[in-house]
Structure 1
Amino acid sequence: MASKKLYGGSLNQFANSFPRAFGWKVTFVDPDDPENFRKAITPRTKALFIESLANPGGVVCDIRAIADVADAAGIPLIVDNTMATPYLCRPIEHGATLVVHSTTKFLSGHGNSVGGIVIDSGKFDWRNGKFPALSEPEPGYHGLRFADTFGHLAFTIHGHAIGLRDLGPSMAPLNAFLTIAGVETLALRMERHCANAKAVAEFLKGHPAVAWVNYAGLPDSPYHALAKRYLPNGAGAVFTFGLKGGYEEGVRMVESVELFSHLANIGDTRSLIIHPASTTHRQLSPEGLKAAGATPDVIRISVGLESVDDIIADLDRALNKLG
């Protein structure tokens, strides 16, 4: 079961790629009310999946409440923490079982090193009968039972022994090196990212061409209280805003900026901009676009480390061209 307010690529992966490749099925629910997860759980439900800070909708999930639902059902809660990074949010401290990151984003810092990581909390008991791959004999290792042999490390060891061996999701050594080097400056970078993003959000909120700004760091955001609880060091660097002119002006907006780079990536040292409805989310239906927070008027920006005055000036110039 997954939140329906996820990155478009994740929505497509759950809805299309996983069923075709592995036969996995997903039920999407609105994460704004944790009870939606509880109501939709069935005996066949194997995990809950959310983003701590959703891309691009800026949704902040109540991780602890959803973790309680998962615990009651005896299933793991998996949290994609890419947008928040460990500097802003530590989902395991709020009950998450597994945490995943696209290291290509903020962790490496430059968007030039492709990779991903899975962090196991080491607290889940995989011997509850729902996960035979971990609790039953593994033919490829002479009948080894991972859960019995490795206890709370069962998932991590299985991921290496089976996942890496059979599926091959290993990071290239150079990308691993660049990511490790980038992580050293994560705290400094995230402080600047968040300070710049808040200033930009406040500017956009007052611009006449902008209909709305969805940034959890603003007091009027419906996610402001949750952001203060789960993101105490800042509400992140990626957020969306809506143009009064809709789809056509969204396309013109990304064509008019000069300092911003028109890229689908996020979490770069540079400021990035994209119009999701015409790019990353264009494969979704109108209903899917709305659910993902990527309606035709939406612009997503990933605020970088440049001078905030330069960032605001570039946006102001592009917005004024829209008339």
Structure 2
Amino acid sequence: MDAALTDAFEASRPRLTRLAYRMLGSVSEAEDAVQDAWLRWSRAGAGVDDPAAWLVRATTRLCIDRLRAAKAERAAYRGPWLPEPLIEPLVEPATDAVERAEEVSIAFLLALERLSPLERAVFLLHDVFDQDYAQVAETLERSEAAVRQLASRARSHVQDARPRFTVDRDKAMKLAAAFAAASATADAKALSELLAEDAIMVSDGGGKRTAALRVLVGRDDIIGLFQGLLWRHGEMGVQGLEMVRINGGPGLLLRLHDGPETLAFEPGEDGRIAAIYVMRNPDKLRHLTHQLRDGG
């Protein structure tokens, strides 16, 4: 393999991975899509004038194909579907615009799930990755007019998912820590003080681990679940806990008796928790194995 081709691909790999994750909502599938793009690049890259643009086009099209193929599987998914958690250490958020927390938040990715594969591609390429409509039209082999229409339709679906306010990062992490302490013993009073009255909780077990099969809505509904778990199983046996950023926001990475689990929190405007996203599906936690092992 020509070294120049390898260097060109590696220079684009981080951007391609970010795009693929936002398209697919899956770390592992994003990595597979980028690997497929690499295979195509290894065969066709020698005659390409603009490697970065070519690789974005190839990756986008591969992701669209994957989304279309997964349509039936997503429709038959057992219980609520959540994206694979994107775990980062507690460092300052990246300054690159495509790394802003609101553009990788779980609420944002769930909003993208409501879009068709083409709408999702147009929205991400234009509104998140700052490509002009001509570039997007070339990538998707559509007219500029069609692309503009797709973008407008996509925006109408995702605009409500963008945060209307910002929460201090340290305060957000303290909120997550307080929730961990209160939920360990299902302290109803402490949980009540931490949760917004209309808070929601979404659990994804994928039918492979126990999880709520509906979205819990309201403070009382969520507290009732934790009290029920305590009554049935006693105090939650947490063998390891790490404070992390999950999809740009505060979160917990847990090791429990039946495997790993992540909790991502969406702070509300009133300083309480507005949403909790719990990932228990083992298929979506495989990429976290090394973090659990290294973090103890």
Higher helix share: 2
Q: Is this a same-fold pair by TM over 0.5?
A: no
Q: Which protein, 1 or 2, shows the higher relative CO under an 8 Å CA cutoff with sep ≥ 6?
A: 2
Give the shorter-chain TM-score range.
0.3 to 0.5
Q: TM-score with structure 1 length normalisation?
A: 0.36
Q: Give TM-score scaled by structure 2 length.
A: 0.38
